[in-house]
A and B are shown apart, each in its own frame.
Chain A
Amino acid sequence: MTLARKLWIGMGALIVLSPLGLILPEQFKSGKAWGEWGLDEIQKMTGYVPQGFQRLSGLWKAPLHDYAFQGWEGKGLVHLSFAYIISAFVGIAIITGVAFIIGKVLVKEHD
């Protein structure tokens, strides 16, 4: 088996295990990463909403925001884990494709 194939099998395992990155923080009651809070959380912590923050924070609506499906916010961990796995798969597929194309474009002149 080629090394690349072995690494892809490892990547498949990481996709399947990825919900750990969702479930463990939930289990240990840990919050978001430092500095990645939303508007409400900022307001709770500081007592106000920074004006510029308010203007910019809603700038972009990502289609799979927070690695979840829109409208699934209230669903349980099983649903969210499923969405997380799909997000991992979709993300890997797109990123692999984009990085491969960039690599091919850059590295075609020699060899």
Chain B
Amino acid sequence: MHIPDGYLSPATCGVFGAVMIPIWATASKAVQKTLSVRQVPYLAIGAAFSFVIMMFNVPIPGGSSGHAVGGVLVAILLGPWAACIAITVALVIQALLFGDGGITAIGANCFNMAFVLPFVGYYVYKLISSGSPSGSSRRVIAAGAGAYFGICAAALCAGIEFGIQPLLYHTANGQALYSPYGLKVAIPAMVAVHLLVFGWVEVIVTALVVKYLQKQNSVFFEGGRS
């Protein structure tokens, strides 16, 4: 889901960069208010976890490959704004150091994976888990559901971003200037593989870690500071 340089027009990149600036500013303020000093090391661990889990490319035999993001997990444990910061750090380093995701697409990639993904995931988790005891299996199921909807929503956004390019930017003879695939190709392609495969990878990763942490330290699931 890391959109490389060249697939999005400079204007699209500019729009998403501009959209992300107030989101990052709000995230900084929210983290300042809600995160405790004790949680700062977990913010760092969350960012590192998201980074390394994205390195585990899962193959669709004969097809494409993809990966989990781990971002819904961070949102469940530290809140969606903290997750936004943690995933942004991972995405920026991926782009700069490893060329994974374009530098011009940092705004769009952060919008999809550091904003849409943790927020959709977090609120689905909240909706399903609300009122359940911190050690309950409803929390694990809620975490899995959040993971699934979070990553699929992010994939949908990426599909739309790819898909609008040929509509907006093409030469007189109809050749695309950037992403050559329109909405009818890009959205199904992005969403289907996440609904069928990579969404479930995110579910398994998220549910397993939530289950483990429930046993270790249920403090994570008692609502935390808000």
Contacts and interface: CB of A to CB of B under 8 A. Distances in A.
Contact of B45 (A4, A25, A34, A42): A4
B99 interface: yes
B105 to A, nearest CB: 9
Interface residues on A, range: 35 or more
Contacts of B9: 52
Given A50-B175, A66-B99, A107-B40, A21 B55 contact: yes
A92 to B, nearest CB: 4
Given A21-B67, A33-B64, A62-B99, A56 B6 contact: yes
A60 B39 CA distance: 35
B56 A18 contact: yes
B139 interface: no
Interface stretch (B84-92, B115-123, B124-132, B141-149): B84-92
Contacts of A91: 51-52, 55, 93-94, 97-98
A46 B185 CA distance: 13
Interface residues on B, range: 35 or more
A22 B98 CA distance: 14
B180 interface: yes
A72 interface: no
Nearest to B27: A106
Interface string A26-61: 011111111110110010011010111111111111
A57 B47 CA distance: 27
Interface in B25-74: 28, 31-32, 35-49, 51-53, 55-67
Contacts of B177: 50-53
B17 interface: no
Contacts of B104: 56, 59
Given A3-B217, A31-B65, A34-B64, A106 B28 contact: yes
25 contacts: A3-B216, A3-B217, A4-B45, A11-B45, A14-B56, A29-B59, A32-B64, A33-B64, A33-B66, A35-B3, A35-B181, A36-B2, A36-B4, A51-B177, A53-B176, A56-B5, A56-B104, A60-B5, A65-B98, A87-B55, A88-B55, A95-B48, A99-B43, A99-B89, A103-B35
Interface of B: 1-7, 9-10, 28, 31-32, 35-49, 51-53, 55-67, 85-86, 89-90, 93-100, 102-104, 158, 162, 169, 171, 175-181, 186, 189-190, 193, 213, 216-217
